[in-house]
Chain A
């Protein structure tokens, strides 16, 4: 049989709306059923300048299912422009309006001369996941908005950063801010469209960047390719979201090399960070390695991006060994072999097996069958808490569905992110008998 979705860790393509919401003053307009906006809201998006209940929505009912919803969509867009104080309006379709056959492009075409830009993207839930939805939203912004901006000069040192997916990943904003800091430290100017008060101002600068930096195994790859095609901007695809000293230093060197920056001053920056980082590790080395219940072998159950980030940190930085790595966001088949390859490039020839699955029950069954030579460390979503407990293992919740802790702005990226990861991991260890 085709796979059963047991304990869903992703939502449907309409979840791409979270990426619209994450652009300050961009307004998602839902051409969908009345409940879709709430269903696809991220585990950590909550409220904000706009929130689920403030998104304009056609609230499709039986009438529109029978007679079509284009007229209603026209009214809602027209009045959204009057009521909502926004800079960019993005119409997203749901399953219902796609099956009924409403022509989004045609309706949105009527607003091409509106005061504010109105664009559209087809995101029926049955066509993909929120991660694909995110890519489609960014593609739509590139194709329908950025290409229509007046041409400008490239800005030396300006780097667009892509990768973390708002807001489904609970650490998205902290991670983006940390990537920004890192890029700034090596003398480049970061440009990110997501998060507080960046908005249209940063969006308008996207075509002017010297290069695009994608820090993700697969999400966003199509976007940076499209940006290269439309604006001739080269891109650096760096698959690993860097966490901890080893990975972060490697990341900084790679980016500096790509940007053709002199490496000598970069090495000085790295040395300073590593001095601080290892000061803290030295102070706490007994916490990490003199205890009864800390795990030595781990599995991640997460998105490709988070799993790779955590695995690289735990193996290359912290010296643990990987068991199977479960990738849960329904990664499109064309990316799977390449991603599996990333998990075979650890230090000392260490390799991990990756399993692409959306079936939580099956994952937990496999974890239970595996021998971890001691208590396992399971790094995953809230759904993994139960199996970690059953096996007397360590557990850290890092991905959606989350509900384990509240994340305001913290991050597992960078030097400080690695330390934060260890704080959180060993807080869990200390809650067991030690």
Chain B
């Protein structure tokens, strides 16, 4: 099961670690299945709504690297990911980094290309992209079409090696190859490991922080730099606004940590397997318990436990009394959570820290384990510590299912993280909280912000109530009377 950074493809999550996209049960059912079989059995949907594909995750994330170029080998629609560029320029500008060598081009495959193949065109577009932008590396993004017609992308990069003196790689993110869009994260990290990361020459005090956004929201970046400084460590934020030069040296870091192990496990475990960089197995730094768990494990690794404790104590004195006050008002409130599996498990734990009852937790997909065979820590924590047996489902972004559940549960608040998901509860008058930024709940400060935001959303419901009175759901009465998982059957 170990990660082989040299292999052509990394394979889908379902094939590597048995991840699934459909399930309905409770936490205790999940625990029982995991303990007896090591995995949770897949179910099947006979109705489905548009989910998401691996190429979106893979190439949007790859686009975060400042000085690479992506050549998407597919029809024009696939390449609409390129519209992410101006936003990423803003991010890089905000931290004073240059993105003028970044490019996202497309071969705009036509019908003739699907019949006769178009590796010649691909080769020309790669060369032209290189000539125009002079990036530090070029990645060919595969598409469903290039995959189905069997384009030899590795053959193209072999030929290009003669003409281009920078790494040219392939990201195998064909949309049909995995039902789990997170397989796209793995495909990108695999390409980073295979084509960019170099063996270590020395050890540095860097910590690879594998996340989404480089901590730009609420200036969390400064808080992270500060706490790492206490441990004599420095962050390398990945992949947002990173450079090829930084990535080459990932193997030299003291450790890797993450805000989301659904996202990061492949890179963290890959760096550990190939180069011995410890991947800290902890809860993620959301809420008090997660924050302390991650940084105490990191501090232990570098023998700085006393320094950390002194720093945390200062922070606790500022924030814990305020957190207590918010908690008093939130105890007994009811929530439903719908997110990626790891973030959802972390957020459910934080809600429970505030005394909120998590009535239903649904995950976009479910990982029984990661590539090293370990069970996700945040999930394990919930299995061991949740005060109630939460209804648990695996949803694959199926709006019709989670709206049906929401109508039954009628929670005080619905927390979600995905474009166009949290807002749906507002249509039925339930406040929705889009926990968008990964540092929403970072540390004591973020925990206070998170609790206060929930309290405010529950208190001032004006927008939600106004909206809900004027819109209706696109679902039939028939459907809303069915059980939420009526369309699930055993695979």
Q: List residues of A whose CB falls within 8 A of some B CB.
A: 1-8, 10-15, 25, 27, 30, 33-40, 43, 46-47, 49-62, 64-65, 75-76, 79-80, 82-86, 94-96, 99-100, 124-127, 129-130, 330, 358, 361, 382-383, 385-386, 400-401, 403
A15 touches B474 (CB 8 A): no
A85 touches B474 (CB 8 A): yes
B476 touches A84 (CB 8 A): yes
B51 touches A99 (CB 8 A): no
| Smallest beta-carbon distance B465→chain A, Å | 18
Which of these, B111, B397, B473, contacts A127 with CB under 8 Å? B111
Kindly name the residue among A6, A11, A99 whose own CB sees the greatest number of chain B CB atoms within 10 A. A6
What residues on B are CB-neighbors of A47 within 8 Å? 420, 423-424
In the complex with contacts A5-B105, A83-B479, A382-B86, A126-B111 CB distance below 8 A: yes
What residues on B are CB-neighbors of A330 within 8 Å? 76
Which of these, B49, B85, B109, B478, contacts A82 with CB under 8 Å? B478
Which of these, A80, A85, A401, contacts B83 with CB under 8 Å? A401
In the assembled complex, B47 has its CB within 8 A of some CB on chain A: yes
Q: Besides the contacts A27-B474, A124-B75, what 9 more A-B pairs have beta carbons closer than 8 Å?
A: A25-B474, A38-B56, A53-B421, A54-B474, A59-B179, A83-B478, A85-B473, A95-B145, A125-B77
B181 touches A34 (CB 8 A): yes
B52 touches A34 (CB 8 A): yes
A125 touches B75 (CB 8 A): yes
CA–CA, A34 and B56, complex, Å: 10
Interface code B464-491, partner A: CB below 8 Å = 1, 0 otherwise?
0000000111111011000000010000
What residues on A are CB-neighbors of B89 within 8 Å? 386
A65 touches B148 (CB 8 A): yes
What residues on A are CB-neighbors of B149 within 8 Å? 99
A36 touches B77 (CB 8 A): yes
What residues on A are CB-neighbors of B419 within 8 Å? 38, 52-53
In the complex with contacts A62-B177, A403-B83, A57-B50 CB distance below 8 A: yes
Interface size counted on chain B using CB atoms at 8 A: 71
A383 touches B52 (CB 8 A): no
In the complex with contacts A11-B80, A43-B83, A53-B176 CB distance below 8 A: no
In the complex with contacts A5-B108, A99-B149, A53-B49 CB distance below 8 A: yes
A83 touches B475 (CB 8 A): yes
B474 touches A86 (CB 8 A): yes
| Smallest beta-carbon distance A156→chain B, Å | 34
CB contact list, B100-146 vs A, under 8 A: 103-111, 113-114, 121, 124-125, 128-129, 132, 143-145
In the complex with contacts A49-B474, A79-B487, A55-B86 CB distance below 8 A: no
B53 touches A34 (CB 8 A): yes
CA–CA, A386 and B76, complex, Å: 23
CA–CA, A36 and B79, complex, Å: 11
B46 touches A79 (CB 8 A): yes
CA–CA, A371 and B124, complex, Å: 31
In the complex with contacts A35-B55, A39-B56, A1-B47 CB distance below 8 A: no
B48 touches A76 (CB 8 A): yes
| Smallest beta-carbon distance A204→chain B, Å | 20
In the assembled complex, B175 has its CB within 8 A of some CB on chain A: yes
| Smallest beta-carbon distance B400→chain A, Å | 6
What residues on A are CB-neighbors of B478 within 8 Å? 82-83
A358 touches B108 (CB 8 A): yes
In the assembled complex, B160 has its CB within 8 A of some CB on chain A: no
Q: List residues of B whose CB falls within 8 A of some A CB.
A: 46-56, 74-83, 85-87, 89, 103-111, 113-114, 121, 124-125, 128-129, 132, 143-145, 148-149, 175-179, 181, 397, 399-400, 418-421, 423-424, 471-476, 478-479, 487
B107 touches A56 (CB 8 A): no
B49 touches A12 (CB 8 A): no
CA–CA, A414 and B128, complex, Å: 43
In the complex with contacts A2-B121, A33-B176, A34-B50, A10-B83 CB distance below 8 A: no
What residues on B are CB-neighbors of A14 within 8 Å? 77
Chain A minimum-CB-distance residue to B109:
A126
A33 touches B108 (CB 8 A): no
A401 touches B86 (CB 8 A): yes
B53 touches A11 (CB 8 A): no
B479 touches A12 (CB 8 A): no
Which of these, B49, B106, B129, B476, contacts A56 with CB under 8 Å? B49
What residues on B are CB-neighbors of A15 within 8 Å? 77
What residues on A are CB-neighbors of B179 within 8 Å? 34, 59, 61
What residues on A are CB-neighbors of B75 within 8 Å? 12, 95, 124-126
Which of these, B50, B77, B144, B475, contacts A53 with CB under 8 Å? B50
What residues on A are CB-neighbors of B132 within 8 Å? 6, 361
Q: Name 23 interchain pairs, CB-CB below 8 A, sorted by A.
A: A1-B124, A1-B125, A5-B107, A8-B82, A8-B106, A11-B77, A12-B77, A33-B53, A37-B50, A38-B50, A40-B77, A40-B80, A53-B399, A55-B49, A57-B50, A61-B176, A75-B47, A82-B47, A84-B476, A85-B475, A95-B144, A96-B176, A401-B86
CA–CA, A52 and B80, complex, Å: 15
What residues on B are CB-neighbors of A39 within 8 Å? 56, 77-78, 80-81
CA–CA, A34 and B183, complex, Å: 13
A126 touches B114 (CB 8 A): yes
| Smallest beta-carbon distance B345→chain A, Å | 22
Which of these, B110, B181, B420, contacts A35 with CB under 8 Å? B181
Chain A minimum-CB-distance residue to B104:
A7
A126 touches B113 (CB 8 A): yes
In the complex with contacts A14-B77, A54-B400, A95-B75, A33-B474 CB distance below 8 A: no
CA–CA, A327 and B74, complex, Å: 22
Chain A minimum-CB-distance residue to B421:
A53
CA–CA, A401 and B104, complex, Å: 14
What residues on B are CB-neighbors of A403 within 8 Å? 83, 86-87
A57 touches B48 (CB 8 A): yes
A83 touches B476 (CB 8 A): yes
A51 touches B420 (CB 8 A): yes
In the complex with contacts A8-B79, A54-B474, A35-B148 CB distance below 8 A: no
In the complex with contacts A4-B105, A53-B399, A82-B478, A33-B144 CB distance below 8 A: yes
Which of these, A8, A27, A80, contacts B80 with CB under 8 Å? A8
What residues on B are CB-neighbors of A33 within 8 Å? 53, 144, 175-176
CA–CA, A170 and B68, complex, Å: 30
Chain A minimum-CB-distance residue to B132:
A361
CA–CA, A54 and B398, complex, Å: 7
| Smallest beta-carbon distance A218→chain B, Å | 18
A96 touches B47 (CB 8 A): no
Chain A minimum-CB-distance residue to B71:
A4
| Smallest beta-carbon distance B478→chain A, Å | 6
Which of these, B125, B145, B423, contacts A99 with CB under 8 Å? B145
| Smallest beta-carbon distance B386→chain A, Å | 28
A80 touches B47 (CB 8 A): yes
CA–CA, A33 and B48, complex, Å: 12
